[in-house]
Amino acid sequence: NISTEMCIFDDDGDRIRMYLQKRDSLAKNPHEPYPEMYCAWGTTHEPFDSVLETFLRVQKKLGAEFPLALPVEVFPREGKYLPEAQDPPRGVYLLRIFVTVPMGDIVSPNGHWFYLDEIPLQELVASHLGLIIPRATWKFCQLRESGWQWQKME
């Protein structure tokens, strides 16, 4: 399995926020593997999906547009490969991690903005706590420091 994780940030010039999804409860979805835990927005690749198709699926879930999302180089010194996540009860899956910012308001009943120092760490899915969010935050801060300007995808 391959999962594309879209890590959504907002920068008011002073503090950085991240938009996280609160997963369904078991009452709402009895098959939810991580009930009521937070994670970045993502989707599992369907057979023959392109990266663009996965972005469009996430964008539709959120009801917002996003500029070009930039990949996170997770372990650049160890070669270019996709990192693995192991979040029991799910099996091993490969990750594509991207950072982006919204162009306008996000419309999602399951989403919440958190300042980075207010993210409820004890309520995060393990791979998001240990890998996805730290690496995406590092990449976003690197872009911010470089003066990167987000542009709408054409």
Six-digit token string for 81: 């490969």
pLDDT tens digits for 107-119? 888 899 999 999 9
Model-level pTM? Answer: 0.85
User: Residue 154: which pLDDT band, with cuts at 50, 70 and 90?
Assistant: low
146/38 Cα distance (integer angstroms): 29
Strand bridging mode 2-11 / 16-22: antiparallel
Six-digit token string for 104: 């306008």
In the block, tokens 């393990």 appear at: 126
Query: How high is the pLDDT of residue 106?
Result: 85
Mean pLDDT score, 55-76: 73
In the block, tokens 């996540």 appear at: 85
124/85 Cα distance (integer angstroms): 14
pLDDT tens digits for 115-144? 999 999 999 999 999 989 998 999 899 888
Q: Which helix (H) or strand (E) holds 133?
A: helix 133-146
With a cut of 80, say whether residue 39 has pLDDT above it. Answer: yes
Six-digit token string for 49: 């999906």
Six-digit token string for 102: 């919204």
Distance, C-alpha 25 to centroid of its chain: 20
